[in-house]
Structure 1
Amino acid sequence: MLVRLLYVSRPAVALNDETLDAILQASRKANPPLGITGLLCHSDKVFMQVLEGGRETINRLYARIANDPRHQDVTLLSYQEIDERRFASWTMGHVNISRLNPSILLKYSERPVLDPYALPGHVSMALLEELIATASIAGR
């Protein structure tokens, strides 16, 4: 059974490009054999990640993330059983939210900044859908 999980967290320490690259490289190496696909949106203050895959695999991964000291304020935004993957093309795509056109963010929130803690999960998913539609996703 396939599931899609969306969560948000704050980095425990300031992010730099090297740390982010290491996270993405590790995900892109580990995810294919586990059947995990997804997308990581980030700024210097927040991570928002969607993960797709088998229910048990995604549940175990989320539990690891929730207990990882590099994450703070881990909050589940959405969890659903799915018939098909929406993020099948990415072992872990990524979007630097601070580089997006502010009008995309403003479409989904009160201000042109990403604050998934203040948005319903379905609104955050709509933003991710728009990022796919506008080819804003980098990586593979």
Structure 2
Amino acid sequence: MLVRLMYASRAVPAIDNDELHTILRQSKHNNPAKGITGLLCYSGGVFIQALEGGRSAVSQLYNRIAADPRHTDVVLLSYEEIGERRFAGWAMGQVNMARLNPALLLKYSATATLDPYVISGKVSMAMFDELVATASVMC
């Protein structure tokens, strides 16, 4: 059974680009063997991530992330059984914040700031779908 999980967290302390690239590199290396795909967005010290795969593998990864000392304020935004993956092309894709049009954030939120703590999981997923559709994701 496939599931999709989306969560938000805050980085402690705010991580730099090297640390972010390390996280992405580890994800791209480890996720294929576990059958996990997904998408990560990081901006202003906030992570928002969607994970897809088998229920057990996704749950184990989420629990590990929630216990990771680099994260705080971990919030589960959505969890659902799915018939197919939305992010099958990425062991872990990353949103290219440099290509992100602020109008896209305004479409889904009161401000042009990425803040998943003030929008629903459903709205966050709609935003991710649009990011994929507008080629704002890099491998």
State the TM-score, normalized to the length of structure 1. 0.96
Query: 1:2–1:54: 8 Å Cα contact kept in structure 2?
Result: yes
Alignment-mate amino acid for residue 125 of structure 1: M
Establish whether residue 55 from structure 1 lines up as the match of residue 55 from structure 2: yes
Aligned equivalent of 2:15: 15
Query: 2:97–2:136: 8 Å Cα contact kept in structure 1?
Result: no
Aligned equivalent of 2:133: 133
Shift of 1:75: 0.2
Matched ranges for 1:51-90 at <5 A: 51-90=51-90
Shift of 1:130: 0.1
Shift of 1:107: 0.5
Name structure 1 gaps, 5 residues minimum: none
Aligned equivalent of 1:114: 114
Tell me the distance in 2 between the aligned counterparts of 1:17 and 1:62.
22
Q: Percent identity?
A: 59
Query: 2:7–2:76: 8 Å Cα contact kept in structure 1?
Result: yes
Query: 2:106–2:112: 8 Å Cα contact kept in structure 1?
Result: yes
Query: 1:43–1:98: 8 Å Cα contact kept in structure 2?
Result: no
Query: 2:3–2:52: 8 Å Cα contact kept in structure 1?
Result: yes
The number of aligned residues is 139
Establish whether residue 33 from structure 1 lines up as the match of residue 44 from structure 2: no
Shift of 1:132: 0.8
What root-mean-square deviation, in Å, do the aligned CA atoms of Structure 1 and Structure 2 show?
1.0
Tell me the distance in 1 between the aligned counterparts of 2:97 and 2:13.
18
Alignment-mate amino acid for residue 38 of structure 1: G
Given the superposition, is the C-alpha separation of residues 76 and 98 from structure 1 closer, same or farther in structure 2, using an over 3 Å criterion? Answer: farther
Query: 2:2–2:81: 8 Å Cα contact kept in structure 1?
Result: yes
Corresponding residue SS for 1:9? strand
Shift of 1:98: 6.0
Query: 1:42–1:96: 8 Å Cα contact kept in structure 2?
Result: no
Query: 2:99–2:136: 8 Å Cα contact kept in structure 1?
Result: no
The ranges of structure 1 where at least 4 consecutive aligned residues each deviate by more than 3 angstroms after the TM superposition are 96-99
State the TM-score, normalized to the length of structure 2. 0.97
